[in-house]
Structure 1
């Protein structure tokens, strides 16, 4: 029986994808998220979200309802679903931040003419969007909406596979567990880039979703 470590605790529905496989699943949240109080200065012409955590943080704000009149762009299928479920209108969603920058570049004049754009991010956000905004869209206000904290544990047994869902998860796991010959399954390109610094056998999910990561594990058994 092989041992698979998920660096995120899975829901029962997600676990069901792996039912019937001859594996032992070890689950732990190697990253914890703390939603932060944010300051909003309305109105905003456009809102940009790159994670569900940023959406949850904004929804805590007493002015959240007023934001629902703004246009929204986001990264992530689940992020878009949460936004729409919460009453926001998502104009476009993208798999990766790099896809979003390409869209912004192609429509740069439209976004340059917007007076105020809010970008909601976490403390460990990548530089892809901030660097683009600094160069092309100085009218973007970055708002730190949540804090990412590493919460590693040591796995005291031989591990055959690891599931990673963020670069922070990679760093958290590796801080207490040396890399070996494990097969690593990653949710997307940026997570895979982080994992490839330590592991050789890295598989990237076909879509950047948890379900797609689990499907890769199931299909490779």
Structure 2
């Protein structure tokens, strides 16, 4: 009998993604294991450049009516999807990278003389702020959204799990264990959170949801 793996995505997927013919042999389930809540903030001094490390930060800024005030500022960002969202809403993106660790040296080398305004979430790594302080990059920061865990007990026997953030892993593990499941991760930071927890980890070729699903398809071909 053919093997038709069952894979749980820890993020709800768009219908167009589920209709992908490459998924014909994979039963893909999806649930939101984390939620995002936008945080109100008072936009004080805005510096020369604006910095976003996620789409959620961009969405929060726009929801609170700051798009037209901020999109006149050149932008720096983490993630191709963040870049695309910024450009679709009028920003000129001067530099971007898939990971914060790759963006940090670009900012230090090319934009050290520019003051930055950083829009972030309540859960973020210290890599960028520490790099800025160590290299004399002037910045201010606004926390514009928070991540909320939504642990759900998985009642289905699954062969694979798709994770898109360390927070989703933390949420999943509150109600579930990982044993023999193959874990498909959006990037290296997410994969690091599974060390000592999962035995089988596959990292997407690019840190996007689409590439994570494609990694799942390729694995089970």
Give TM-score, length-normalised by structure 1: 0.92
Q: What's the RMSD between the two structures over aligned residues?
A: 1.6
Question: How far apart in 2 are the matches of 1:144 and 1:35?
Answer: 9
Distance 1:69 1:20, change over 3 A: closer
- The answer to which of 201-210 and 138-147 deviates more is 138-147
CA distance in 2 between counterparts of 1:26 and 1:214 reads: 12
**Secondary structure of residue in 2 paired with 1:4:** strand
Shift of 1:136: 2.2
| Match of residue 125 from structure 1 | 124
Match of 1:13 among 5, 13, 16: 16
Of the structure 1 ranges 85-94 and 59-68, higher mean CA displacement relative to structure 2 is found in 59-68
Shift in Å, 1:26: 2.0
| 1:18 Cα deviation after fit | 5.9
- Judged with a 3 Å threshold, the aligned counterparts in structure 2 of structure 1 residues 130 and 43 are, in CA distance, closer, same or farther, namely closer
Aligned to 1:50: 53
Displacement after TM superposition at 1:106 (Å): 2.1
2:64 paired residue number: 61
Shift of 1:217: 1.1
Note the alpha carbon deviations across 1:76-103, whole angstroms, 9 max, x for none: 1110011011111111111000011121
CA contact (8 A) 1:44 1:67 kept: no
User: Segments of 4+ in structure 1 off by > 4 A?
Assistant: none
1:61-80 Cα shifts (integer Å, max 9, x gaps): 33431211211100011100
- Note closer, same or farther for the CA distance 1:85–1:125 as it changes in structure 2 (3 Å cut): same
Give the structure 2 partner of residue 25 of structure 1. Answer: 28
Could you tell me which residue of structure 2 aligns to residue 167 of structure 1? 166
In the superposition, relative to structure 1, how do residues 18 and 210 fare at CA in structure 2: closer, same or farther (>3 Å)?
farther
Gaps of 5+ in 1: none
Structure 1's 67 and 206: CA in aligned 2 closer, same or farther, altered over 3 A? same
Displacement of 1:23: 3.1
The alignment of Structure 1 onto Structure 2 pairs a total of residues equal to 217
| 1:100 aligned partner | 103
Q: Given the alignment, which residue of 76, 84, 89 partners 2:87? A: 84
Cα distance change on mapping 1:18 and 1:217 into 2, 3 Å: farther
| TM value normalised by structure 2 | 0.92
Structure 2: gaps (5+ residues): none
CA contact (8 A) 2:160 2:184 kept: yes
Residues 1:214 and 1:20: Cα distance change in structure 2 (over 3 Å): closer
